[in-house]
Amino acid sequence: MRPAAAAPEQRRPTGGFPLVIAVLLLIAANLGGCATLSSDQEAERTLFPSSLAVVGHVVWVDRSENTAVIELKPGASVSIQPLLARNDAMVETARLQATAMRQGQTLGTRIVDGLPNVGDEVVVRRERE
């Protein structure tokens, strides 16, 4: 005679499902008010156009001569106001002054302050409309 096979142990749920439901209800209750903003908070989130306009990017820098060359975007307008160079993190790296050296979309500049890097974006303050 063979020994009787042991019946497989049956495991009873330990209350997992009700626990999951309770946790989900708590989360839902806490998130319910997140989508509402007061009028003061809405005013803070209003977006305004930047006061800076992108005119090009730095393509060459000569540190010994304090000069940089900018490739201008098509249609970019550069006046006598200072140009600002900034990196990818939008941190200003240099202030530049346009010179009379211009050929097509290439503009020569004098480095007034800081040190631009090749690839830096060049911006100018927008004129008031």
Domains and CATH numbers, the chain: 52-125 (2.40.10.170)
Calculate the alpha carbon distances from 126 to 77, 118, 129 in Å: 10, 23, 9
Instruction: Name residue, tokens 């631009």.
Output: 116
Which residues have C-beta within 8 Å of that of residue 63, sequence separation ≥ 6?
115
Q: Residue 35: in which H helix or E strand, if any?
A: none
- pLDDT over threshold 70, residue 94: yes
- Of 16-20, 57-61, 76-80, 86-90, least confident by mean pLDDT is 16-20
The more confident residue out of 129 and 48 is 48
Neighbour tally for 29: CB within 10 Å = 9
CA distance 81 to 53: 12
Q: Record the pTM.
A: 0.60
pLDDT in tens, 25-84: 777 766 665 556 555 656 566 776 677 889 999 999 999 999 999 999 998 878 777 899
End-to-end CA distance of the chain: 102
pLDDT at 48: 67
* Cα dihedral: 75, 104, 121, 44 (round 10): -10
